[in-house]
Amino acid sequence: MQPRVMPTETRPHVKTGRNVTPLPSGQDYAVLRQEGLTPDKARAQLGLCRFEGRRMERVLQARTQRGAGDGHLPRFARHEAHCTAVMAEGGFWALSERRIGKDQLVVCLPLIPPKLD
């Protein structure tokens, strides 16, 4: 009986001491998608197989449908009722803008209240 030969390539789901390659998380995928990459480009960049890419896209779409897909937005920004109520009371506060030179615009304080007509 011959001894078994161990494969030389690392497999991400198997821990082999120091050669552990972590699997990309759904959060890694979501960040790439939020940056504007297509699902295929995000999958390729993370080195995912087609099945894993489809699974992560389904998870992202399900989270988005539940209102939890974009962690960069405040939760109230996704609610139409809240936005409608704020606009009915005059709108949102805004940051001031200041020009530097001819072409540069800087956002700064103070906050400007919404204009009431």
Which pLDDT tens digit goes with each residue over 63-109? 877 766 555 555 555 577 877 888 888 888 888 888 888 888 888 88
**The dihedral of CA 7, 14, 10, 18: what is its sign?**
negative
| Token pair listed for 67 | 């209102």
The DSSP output letter for 36 is T
SS3 21: coil
- Lowest pLDDT segment from 19-23, 29-33, 94-98: 19-23
With a threshold of 0.85, does the pTM exceed it?
Answer: no
Is the distance from CB of 26 to CB of 56 less than 8 angstroms?
yes
**The dihedral of CA 34, 37, 42, 45: what is its sign?**
negative
